[in-house]
Amino acid sequence: MGNSEERNVDVLAEKYFQLAAKAEQANEELGRFRLQLIELVKRDGAVPPRATKTKALAGNEYELRVSQPLEVSVDTGVAERIGTKLRLHGCGELFQKLFRTVETYVLADGAEKLIGRKLLPKRAPRNLRALFARAVRVRELTPQLEVRKREKKEAAA
Protein backbone atom coordinates (compact mmCIF):
# COMPACT_ATOMS: atom_id res chain seq x y z
CA MET A 1 0.00 0.00 0.00
CA GLY A 2 1.22 3.47 -0.82
CA ASN A 3 1.32 6.49 1.48
CA SER A 4 -1.83 8.03 -0.02
CA GLU A 5 -3.83 4.83 0.52
CA GLU A 6 -2.58 4.59 4.11
CA ARG A 7 -3.52 8.21 4.73
CA ASN A 8 -6.94 7.57 3.19
CA VAL A 9 -7.46 4.58 5.53
CA ASP A 10 -6.37 6.71 8.49
CA VAL A 11 -8.69 9.57 7.50
CA LEU A 12 -11.64 7.21 7.08
CA ALA A 13 -10.87 5.37 10.35
CA GLU A 14 -10.55 8.68 12.22
CA LYS A 15 -13.88 9.87 10.76
CA TYR A 16 -15.44 6.53 11.82
CA PHE A 17 -14.25 6.92 15.41
CA GLN A 18 -15.44 10.53 15.55
CA LEU A 19 -18.91 9.52 14.32
CA ALA A 20 -19.01 6.54 16.70
CA ALA A 21 -18.18 8.84 19.63
CA LYS A 22 -20.91 11.30 18.53
CA ALA A 23 -23.40 8.43 18.18
CA GLU A 24 -22.55 7.12 21.66
CA GLN A 25 -22.94 10.60 23.13
CA ALA A 26 -26.25 11.09 21.29
CA ASN A 27 -27.52 7.69 22.49
CA GLU A 28 -26.65 8.56 26.10
CA GLU A 29 -28.44 11.91 25.76
CA LEU A 30 -31.40 10.23 24.08
CA GLY A 31 -31.56 7.67 26.92
CA ARG A 32 -31.65 10.42 29.55
CA PHE A 33 -34.31 12.32 27.61
CA ARG A 34 -36.34 9.11 27.14
CA LEU A 35 -36.35 8.59 30.93
CA GLN A 36 -37.55 12.20 31.41
CA LEU A 37 -40.42 11.62 28.97
CA ILE A 38 -41.36 8.35 30.68
CA GLU A 39 -41.44 10.06 34.09
CA LEU A 40 -43.51 12.93 32.67
CA VAL A 41 -46.09 10.52 31.22
CA LYS A 42 -46.18 8.41 34.40
CA ARG A 43 -46.73 11.55 36.50
CA ASP A 44 -49.14 13.53 34.29
CA GLY A 45 -50.56 10.98 31.84
CA ALA A 46 -53.97 9.34 31.85
CA VAL A 47 -54.95 5.73 31.25
CA PRO A 48 -56.63 5.41 27.83
CA PRO A 49 -59.78 3.28 27.52
CA ARG A 50 -59.07 -0.48 27.45
CA ALA A 51 -55.32 0.04 28.03
CA THR A 52 -54.77 -0.71 31.71
CA LYS A 53 -50.96 -0.97 31.46
CA THR A 54 -50.56 2.21 29.39
CA LYS A 55 -50.57 5.91 30.15
CA ALA A 56 -50.86 8.58 27.46
CA LEU A 57 -50.11 12.28 27.42
CA ALA A 58 -51.04 14.40 24.40
CA GLY A 59 -49.75 17.74 23.24
CA ASN A 60 -51.01 19.72 20.26
CA GLU A 61 -48.99 17.75 17.72
CA TYR A 62 -47.61 14.69 19.51
CA GLU A 63 -48.83 12.01 21.85
CA LEU A 64 -46.60 10.15 24.29
CA ARG A 65 -47.60 6.66 25.40
CA VAL A 66 -45.82 4.63 28.06
CA SER A 67 -46.63 0.96 28.53
CA GLN A 68 -45.42 -0.95 31.57
CA PRO A 69 -45.46 -4.60 30.56
CA LEU A 70 -45.25 -7.34 33.19
CA GLU A 71 -43.70 -10.74 32.88
CA VAL A 72 -45.62 -13.37 34.82
CA SER A 73 -44.07 -16.80 35.26
CA VAL A 74 -45.47 -19.82 37.04
CA ASP A 75 -43.31 -22.42 38.80
CA THR A 76 -44.59 -25.64 37.26
CA GLY A 77 -43.61 -27.86 40.18
CA VAL A 78 -45.33 -25.67 42.75
CA ALA A 79 -48.41 -25.32 40.52
CA GLU A 80 -48.61 -29.12 40.22
CA ARG A 81 -48.38 -29.44 44.02
CA ILE A 82 -51.25 -26.95 44.32
CA GLY A 83 -53.29 -29.08 41.91
CA THR A 84 -52.57 -32.23 43.92
CA LYS A 85 -53.47 -30.51 47.18
CA LEU A 86 -56.70 -29.11 45.74
CA ARG A 87 -57.72 -32.55 44.45
CA LEU A 88 -56.95 -34.09 47.87
CA HIS A 89 -59.21 -31.50 49.49
CA GLY A 90 -61.98 -32.26 47.01
CA CYS A 91 -61.81 -28.97 45.12
CA GLY A 92 -59.77 -29.91 42.03
CA GLU A 93 -61.97 -27.69 39.84
CA LEU A 94 -60.44 -24.69 41.60
CA PHE A 95 -57.12 -25.47 39.92
CA GLN A 96 -58.53 -24.56 36.47
CA LYS A 97 -59.66 -21.24 37.90
CA LEU A 98 -56.13 -20.47 39.09
CA PHE A 99 -54.06 -21.91 36.25
CA ARG A 100 -54.51 -23.10 32.71
CA THR A 101 -52.29 -25.63 31.05
CA VAL A 102 -50.43 -24.79 27.88
CA GLU A 103 -47.03 -26.46 27.68
CA THR A 104 -46.49 -25.31 31.24
CA TYR A 105 -48.78 -23.57 33.67
CA VAL A 106 -49.71 -19.97 33.03
CA LEU A 107 -51.84 -17.75 35.16
CA ALA A 108 -55.56 -18.15 34.44
CA ASP A 109 -57.68 -15.06 33.86
CA GLY A 110 -59.09 -13.88 37.18
CA ALA A 111 -56.66 -15.92 39.33
CA GLU A 112 -55.28 -12.91 41.17
CA LYS A 113 -58.79 -11.70 41.94
CA LEU A 114 -59.82 -15.14 43.16
CA ILE A 115 -56.76 -15.68 45.36
CA GLY A 116 -57.08 -12.12 46.70
CA ARG A 117 -60.64 -12.58 47.96
CA LYS A 118 -61.14 -12.45 51.70
CA LEU A 119 -62.66 -15.93 51.73
CA LEU A 120 -61.43 -18.75 49.52
CA PRO A 121 -63.75 -21.56 48.42
CA LYS A 122 -64.82 -23.87 51.26
CA ARG A 123 -62.50 -26.84 50.77
CA ALA A 124 -59.39 -24.91 49.73
CA PRO A 125 -56.32 -25.71 51.85
CA ARG A 126 -55.44 -23.10 54.47
CA ASN A 127 -52.01 -22.44 52.96
CA LEU A 128 -53.26 -21.97 49.39
CA ARG A 129 -52.27 -18.29 49.28
CA ALA A 130 -48.71 -19.07 50.43
CA LEU A 131 -48.41 -21.86 47.87
CA PHE A 132 -49.80 -19.60 45.16
CA ALA A 133 -47.28 -16.86 46.06
CA ARG A 134 -44.45 -19.38 45.68
CA ALA A 135 -45.77 -20.57 42.32
CA VAL A 136 -46.28 -17.20 40.64
CA ARG A 137 -43.63 -14.55 40.01
CA VAL A 138 -44.48 -11.13 38.61
CA ARG A 139 -41.66 -8.98 37.27
CA GLU A 140 -41.95 -5.50 35.82
CA LEU A 141 -40.28 -5.13 32.47
CA THR A 142 -38.69 -2.01 31.02
CA PRO A 143 -41.29 0.67 30.22
CA GLN A 144 -41.94 1.10 26.51
CA LEU A 145 -42.18 4.64 25.15
CA GLU A 146 -43.96 5.54 21.93
CA VAL A 147 -43.85 9.06 20.51
CA ARG A 148 -46.10 9.63 17.55
CA LYS A 149 -47.28 12.53 15.48
CA ARG A 150 -50.97 13.20 15.99
CA GLU A 151 -53.25 13.33 13.01
CA LYS A 152 -54.55 16.81 12.18
CA LYS A 153 -58.16 16.06 13.21
CA GLU A 154 -56.91 14.36 16.44
CA ALA A 155 -54.61 17.31 17.25
CA ALA A 156 -57.47 19.80 16.88
CA ALA A 157 -59.80 17.88 19.22
Statement: residue 84 has pLDDT above 60:
yes
Cα–Cα distance for residue pair 98/116, rounded to 1 Å = 11
Cα–Cα distance for residue pair 86/83, rounded to 1 Å = 5
User: pLDDT by residue (tens digit) across 114-156?
Assistant: 999 988 888 999 899 999 998 988 888 888 777 777 777 654 5
User: pLDDT by residue (tens digit) across 69-79?
Assistant: 888 888 888 99
Beta strands in 3-152 (DSSP E): 54-58, 62-67, 70-74, 99-101, 105-107, 136-140, 144-149
Task: Please report which confidence band the pLDDT of residue 38 belongs to, taking 50, 70 and 90 as the band edges.
Answer: very high
Q: What is the predicted pLDDT for the residue at 2?
A: 67
